Amino acid sequence: MPDDVDFKSDKWIPEIKTLCMDFLAKIKEYPGGRFLCFNDALGTKENPGSIVKEYHETAKKFKVEIYGENADLALINYHKIAALYIRSFLKYRLFYFDVPDETKYFDVCLYTKLANEYFVIAFLESIFRGWNNDFDGLLILDPIYKGNFIKELYRYKKDIDLLDPVSFSNTLFLIEQLYFHRTY
């Protein structure tokens, strides 16, 4: 597969950054949130950062594994694209704590401690809206399933090689089918 492959999903970079900044603004209200910072590892379409480069690299490998010599002509569905992006988000961590040295103790909550994992839910809702003709649906996960999903993402963050894009994309498909609802 050639190195200069054009990734149509690169057009999402500005929207992902906007989503990150909106998410960060909301999460700053939670305990410890004031110390969270955005790791701009996305870059731009013209100058991709480590997250986008990782996405490109893993997407190329993934496509070659699945489609062989026809990989450069093949397209992958948005569940797989989302799975590969999520893998990159967890590997390079969009959000991190920047705590001043003089701050000895500070309170955190699960939302701030696991900001990268919770961001994935916001990202999925955006992806599902975009690929479902932008209808104003909401991603409302069952609380027990949501907790287990966050734990799964945390496990992947700790060992990114555990995240298999094919099986994870199937999980994302099921989440969309079961928990993404129209608002009437």
Task: Give the span between the Cα atoms of 87 and 25, in whole angstroms.
Answer: 23
pLDDT digits (tens, 9 = 90+) for 9-55: 888 899 999 999 999 999 999 999 999 999 989 988 888 999 999 99
pLDDT digits (tens, 9 = 90+) for 111-143: 999 999 999 999 999 998 888 775 677 888 999
Which band of pLDDT confidence, cut at 50, 70 and 90, is reported for residue 1? very low
| Residue 180 backbone phi and psi in degrees, to 5 | -100, 110
Domains of the chain by residue range: 8-181
pLDDT at 68 over 90: no
HSE, CB side, 13 Å, CA atoms: give it for residue 146: 16
